[in-house]
Chains A and B, each alone.
Chain A
Amino acid sequence: MLTLSPRRIAAVAAVTISALVLSACSPGSLGSSDPNAATTLSFLADNSETSMKIAEGLAKDFSAKNPSITIKVETRPQGGEGDNVVKTRLSTGDMTDIFMYNSGSLFQALKPEQNLVALGDQAFAGNLDAAFKTTVTAGGQLYGVPFGGATGGGILYNKAVYQRLSLQVPKTWTEFMANNAKIKAAGIAPVIQTYQDTWTSQLLILADFHNVSAVQPDFADRYTKNQAKYANTPAAARGFQKLQEVFDAGYLTKDFASTKLENGVKHLADGTGAHYPMLTFAVGTIVTNNPDKVGDIGFFAQPGDDAAKLGLTVWEPAGVYIPKTTTGAKLDAAKKFLAFVASKEGCDSTAKAFTPSGPFLVKGCALPSNVPGAIKDMQPYFDSGANSPALEFLSPVKGPALEHICVEVGSGIRKAADAAALYDQDVKKQAQQLGLPGW
């Protein structure tokens, strides 16, 4: 039998441990430094259909223009799990060479000053929309370029149903509820909800933000400073009330608790549901799944209480960022890629890859003329200036439990007033985690 001396065991243990340590090194650190050699960049994007198609489209068109640089798209989960992947990879120095991630409050949680490469000195910085820039700026430095166009949050509706019942696009919440009553009387579910994708439950509250800021222009600022609350600001609490009202009136689709986004979009396209409070990117899903119904779909901003103050709540696109771990030739190539994304060619490539969800935020970019009607319906709000960014782009304070609270309100488990107070309590954790003053 093999005899093992203590020393020999120690040696074996040492070898094992060093092997473990070595295998933890990232392959990214072994990249070549020859500037003329072909460079391969890894690009992390979330695994939604929209993001995948845009990321792959951008990668392909960029490589066609720059044959020496290849971009390999990697995917990660969406939502909270994706946030963890991004944060873990950044903190362990294992991030891809370029990555796509939310702008606004989630971007701030990445500690950009510590983890990302500042881009303020790049030529493309001047081409970006000012409102977008604030959502990817930290400590006065710019860190990202827009991934896709702006997205509207409001009500997607079925124009065929509206025509059949001869309804008008509502300008106030009261008109909206009156339309709902008529739609219900006609045997169609007035409001589609899809609580198996919990995030979709938040739209009636988040897309109501233009109505909040129209009444209280300083709400976002005071909210960040812990001076304004949902529960004690009547305009802000309205969102929760609206969610409760549509449930109480029995306006929801029958399967609201058990379906997902894709089925909700299908209800809207077939006209089994008339309104879907949603982000405009869902129009792209209709283009893919029900191309013959795209003409039936329209869009309007979530109405408030005053028709004169009607306006659209806008979601800024996600950003494309470079982590500090990207250096040398890869860094140059990565900057080149970002310049491409923030150019007219980049916008065209994006529009070709997936139906745009709204106007592009890069100078010189225009929407193609063949965009679906629902996307064109957004343009008037941009032309008249009646739009505001969603709260998550104006304040880093967003509580993680909002979607679950909304599911409760929208399913009749919790009342609106209680929910607003509970949400105020939830955001406190986020504010403290970010170390904001005043919390």
Chain B
Amino acid sequence: MSNTRKARRRTAPSPYPYWFYLPAAVVYAVLFLVPTFASFYFSLTRWSLFDYQFIGLDNFVLFFQEPALVKGFFNTILYAVTTSGLKVILGLPLAVLLTSRIVARGYLRSVVFFPVLVSTIGVGITFTVLMNPEQGLFNRSLAAVGIQGPGWLTDPSWALLSVALVDVWKGVGLATLIYIAGIVSIPQEYFEAARVDGAGAFGGFRHIILPLARPATVTVVILSLIGGLRSFDLIWAMTRGGPGFTSDVIASVIYKQYQAGFYGLSTAGNVILFLVVTAIVVPLFRYLNRGEVEQ
């Protein structure tokens, strides 16, 4: 934005009075600001819903001593990176496919997008049934071709990965949609010029789509990484962090503390989650966007 335009905007009086902000500001303050700041305070107390006692930073100390936390932290990162990576890897080829001239393109686009519209809990419960090690459709089908399927959600080494795969199934439609928008906005002249220069289909993908769809990649990575870091509903619906603590993520550790009635402690956990997500996403956002401007 040029400096002159910035200056003009500052001096020009707004055509609307500031009163217009009031209703939104009241709603924002009551529903967002007050609870946020209250939670910062309650994270410093031992709070039983009936009364609270100020205990300084003890909750934070206790939270970091939580044995499930290290595992939960590692799982959160693993989950976020896996889902976000797979959504890019699967979303881009799908988008390329769905922007090319193929039969039933509109229908296929809606098929890919459909899982995004379904309730997460519903998806979780459905897949829990499908992934049942003895009676589930997955293992029955595998058994039909002579493969002994794993206990998708009950085997400690599979549980988190299974949930991540379902998350990808559910979320890849949105990634594809963003990529389709990104690819469609690339001017056709580039492709024509590339063809004249003798580039094949792969050359066009490698040298035109991949670099020019970068803003779409940034959006997909950021959105799915934030989603992955604060993921909770699908994991809770499918494994409740189990078996044991093997698929616990930070959000489910916090939720279990809330369930146990440790309200101050779980609020402290939320403050930490807020800081962690901010600490990861803000620099990443800056980095990815800077790359875009430099181009």
Contacts and interface: CB of A to CB of B under 8 A. Distances in A.
B219 interface: no
15 contacts: A9-B19, A17-B26, A80-B260, A81-B259, A84-B258, A84-B259, A87-B50, A198-B242, A400-B262, A404-B241, A407-B243, A411-B244, A422-B67, A429-B262, A433-B46
Contacts of A109: 48, 261
Main SS of the interface on chain A? helix
Given A80-B260, A433-B261, A12 B50 contact: no
A83 interface: yes
B49 to A, nearest CB: 4
A208 B30 CA distance: 51
Contacts of B242: 195, 198, 404, 407
B119 to A, nearest CB: 18
Contacts of B153: 258
Contact of B26 (A13, A254, A422, A426): A13
Main SS of the interface on chain B? loop
A430 interface: yes
B196 interface: no
B146 to A, nearest CB: 19
Interface in A98-147: 109, 111, 114-115
Q: Most B CB atoms within 10 A — which of A80, A88, A115, A422?
A: A80
In which size bucket is the chain A interface? 35 or more
Nearest to B132: A258
B68 interface: yes
A169 B48 CA distance: 46
Interface string A240-261: 0000000000000011011000
Given A6-B17, A115-B50, A407-B243, A258 B154 contact: yes
In which size bucket is the chain B interface? 35 or more
Contacts of A10: 19, 22
B244 A407 contact: yes
A13 B21 CA distance: 11
A413 interface: yes
Interface string B52-67: 0100000000100101
A91 interface: yes
A198 B236 CA distance: 13
Contacts of A433: 46, 48, 261-262, 265
Contacts of B189: none
Nearest to B55: A432
Contact of A9 (B22, B256, B258): B22
A107 to B, nearest CB: 13
A88 B263 CA distance: 11
A257 B46 contact: no
B124 interface: no
A111 B256 contact: no
A194 to B, nearest CB: 12
B105 to A, nearest CB: 40
Contacts of B22: 6, 9-10, 13
B156 A411 contact: yes
Q: Most A CB atoms within 10 A — which of B156, B261, B262?
A: B261
B288 to A, nearest CB: 38
A400 B260 contact: yes
Interface in B184-218: none
Q: Most A CB atoms within 10 A — which of B62, B67, B155?
A: B67
Interface string B122-165: 00000000001110000000000000000101111000000000
Interface in A175-220: 195, 198
Contacts of B243: 195, 257, 407-408, 411, 413
Contacts of A404: 68, 241-242, 244-245
Given A258-B133, A408-B245, A411-B244, A9 B23 contact: yes
A198 B240 contact: yes
Given A91-B49, A198-B240, A433-B46, A425 B67 contact: yes
Nearest to B239: A196
Contacts of A401: 68, 256, 260
B294 interface: no
B260 A111 contact: no
A258 B153 CA distance: 8
Given A9-B22, A12-B23, A13-B22, A429 B260 contact: yes
Given A9-B19, A429-B265, A257 B244 contact: no
Contacts of A114: 50-51
Contacts of A255: 133-134
B259 A413 contact: no
Nearest to A259: B134
A363 interface: no
A415 B228 CA distance: 31
Interface in A378-409: 400-401, 404-405, 407-408
A414 interface: yes
A90 interface: yes
B15 to A, nearest CB: 13
Contact of A6 (B19, B50, B240): B19
B83 interface: no
B50 A414 contact: no
Q: Most A CB atoms within 10 A — which of B50, B53, B134, B243?
A: B243
B246 interface: yes
B240 A90 contact: no
Given A6-B17, A115-B50, A407-B244, A87 B261 contact: yes
A9 B22 CA distance: 8
Q: Most B CB atoms within 10 A — which of A111, A255, A258, A426?
A: A258
B244 A111 contact: no
A83 B256 CA distance: 12
Q: Most A CB atoms within 10 A — which of B17, B48, B240, B262?
A: B48
Contacts of B260: 80, 400-401, 429-430
